[in-house]
Amino acid sequence: MSLRIDEIVRDVSDDPSVVGLIIYRVDGVPVFVRVNDEMKVLQHMYFLENQIRSVLDYMFNQNLNEISIKVEDIKILLLPITKTLVMSILFLPIAEYRLEIEAKRVINSLRPVLANEV
Amino acid sequence: MRIKTGVIGFDSLIGGGYRPNTVNVVVGASGTGKTIFSLQYLLEGIENGENGVYISFDMDAKAVKILSESLGWFELVEAMENGQILVTRSHAENISYLNEDIIAYIEENSEGNGRIVVDSFTPLISSLDYNSRKDIGWFFDQLRASGTSVVTVEEPFTNSLSRPDVSIPIFLSDSAIFMKNIGYGEAFSRTLQIIKHRASWHADGVFPYRIMPGLGLVVESDLGQRFQRDDIEILIKSMKIDTKIKKRLSFLSKRGVPVSRAIIERVLGIYESENR
């Protein structure tokens, strides 16, 4: 499964401005991790694991399409994929708009793979 | 030599199977597939001509047969009927403590190399506290002497793995896996994580699995597709590096650990920068 996800998200995760891409399950468990800059990503991963449940709660109950958080020089973009999965992209906001468009395209490709068990 | 579990996609995550004469804990809440995992482990044994013992505190032989038939594992039913697999149901309410009767039963029927399943261990130890670690250790030692065991442990609905009846078996076991089902029917709703595997490599990560009639548990592991062992062996042989690290890397490669070329190169980079 991680191989399939990796192939789909590569267009975003290989972007030079992206330091990491993590897919979290609703309980805060990271089910897929692609890290380009370990040191930068690790300090934010623990923070995200603890926040992800409430972030998902906000997204689904307030009908938010996305949430972005800025921490120091890193921007974290959280986009829901399915009812239980959220893709978080950690990036240096230098080409933000292009990355957001690309991320939404990736989400649409991931949805059929991750939404159904079959 | 490794003891294959028979669970498709799982053995490659624990280095080829369980180590012989070990106690292997499977933790999971109700409905995650612990019993199916256990029966699949026994089924693999039957297919290899091995004997097995299944000890339950909830299910009797009839219930186990019904479950096996529902999965299409008629060989398991046949093995129960011809005595290759022994199923016994103990009444947990009568056992407030680990007792020697169970051990005597296992010893009598396993001949030191059998496949043993205790499903689930929780009723046996639910009344115990942290002071009982020694007793569980003793019980596990007896199991090791009798064969290779799968011991299931129920995860409380409070999602707490820190309770003594969950954490002590995990600490004292040779391997532990954690099965979880969040119940949304999505690809990652059922997942499995390997908490530990003593004296063996094991994969890190969260692996989705399915439960299907006939196949039982199928773990979606793509480690084999991601890593090419031959490439790594050739890479290590061709490298002009310190013999000490070359020896270590050769050992890693021979153990069949799925590792990428990029990781080998990074390890070498760190090693060389430290020894510069």
**Which among B186, B191, B225 has CB closest to A82?**
B186
How many Å apart are CA B22 and CA A3, to the nearest integer? Answer: 32
* ipTM, two decimals: 0.76
Quick one: pLDDT at residue B92? 58
Q: Which residue in this structure is represented by tokens 């310190």?
A: B242
List chain B residues with CB under 8 Å of A114.
186-188
Alpha carbons A88 and A33: distance in angstroms, whole number: 10
Instruction: Give tens-digit pLDDT for A73-93.
Output: 889 999 989 888 999 999 998
Question: Is B226 at the interface with chain A, CB within 8 A?
Answer: yes
Is the domain spanning A2-113 CATH 3.30.450.30? The answer is yes
SS (H, E, C) chain B: CCECCCCECCHHHHCCCECCCCEEEEEECCCCCHHHHHHHHHHHHHHCCCCEEEEECCCCHHHHHHHHHHCCCHHHHHHHHHCCEEEEECCHHHCCCCCHHHHHHHHHHHCCCEEEEEECCHHHHCCCCHHHHHHHHHHHHHHHHHEEEEEEEECCCCCCCCCHHHHHHHHHCCEEEEEEECCCCCCCCEEEEEEEECCCCCCCCCEEEEEECCCEEEECCCHHHHCCHHHHHHHHHHCCCCHHHHHHHHHHHHCCCCCCHHHHHHHHHHHHHHCC
At position B223, the amino acid (one-letter code) is L
Cα of B220 to nearest chain A Cα, Å: 6
pLDDT at position B89 is: 83
What is the residue-level pLDDT of chain B in tens, covering all 276 positions?
899 999 999 998 998 999 999 999 999 999 999 999 999 999 999 999 999 999 988 888 999 999 999 999 999 999 999 999 999 887 755 455 566 778 888 888 877 778 999 998 887 777 777 777 888 898 899 999 999 999 999 888 776 777 888 889 999 999 999 999 988 888 899 999 999 999 999 998 899 999 999 999 999 887 766 666 667 777 777 878 888 888 888 888 777 677 777 778 888 888 888 877
- Confirm or reject contact between A113 and chain B (CB < 8 A): yes
Least confident among A12-21, A52-61, B46-55, B166-175:
A52-61
Three-class DSSP category at A95: coil
Position B176 scores a pLDDT of 97
At B230 the pLDDT is 62
Amino acid B98: pLDDT: 66
CB-closest option in A3, A30, A85 to B222: A3
Q: Which chain B residues are within 8 Å of A29, Cβ to Cβ?
A: 180, 191, 206
B28 Cβ contact list (under 8 Å, min separation 6): B34, B152, B154, B155, B178, B179, B180, B181
Report helix, strand or coil for A58.
helix
Query: Which tops the pLDDT comparison, B164 or A32?
Result: A32
Q: Which residues of B touch A111 (CB under 8 A)?
A: none
Q: Give contacts of B189 with chain A, Cβ < 8 Å.
A: 84, 117
Q: Which residues pair with B190 in a beta bridge?
A: B181
Average pLDDT for A51-76: 83
Check B186 against A1: CB less than 8 A apart: no
Q: Which CATH superfamily is domain B11-224 in?
A: P-loop containing nucleotide triphosphate hydrolases (3.40.50.300)
B188, B227, B266: best to mutate for the A interface, most A CBs within 10 A? B188
Beta carbons of A84 and B188 less than 8 Å apart: yes
Res B65: pLDDT: 94
pLDDT confidence of residue B227: 62
B215 in contact with A at a CB cutoff of 8 Å? no
Answer yes or no: is pLDDT of A118 > 70: no
The pLDDT of residue B166 is 86
The answer, yes or no, to whether residue A117 has pLDDT greater than 60, is: no
Q: Which letter does DSSP use for residue A64 in this model?
A: -
Tell me the average pLDDT across A21-26: 90
Is A69 at the interface with chain B, CB within 8 A?
A: no
Domain coordinates in residue numbering, chain B: 11-224, 227-274
Q: Residue B189 is nearest to which of A30, A113, A117, comparing CB atoms?
A: A117
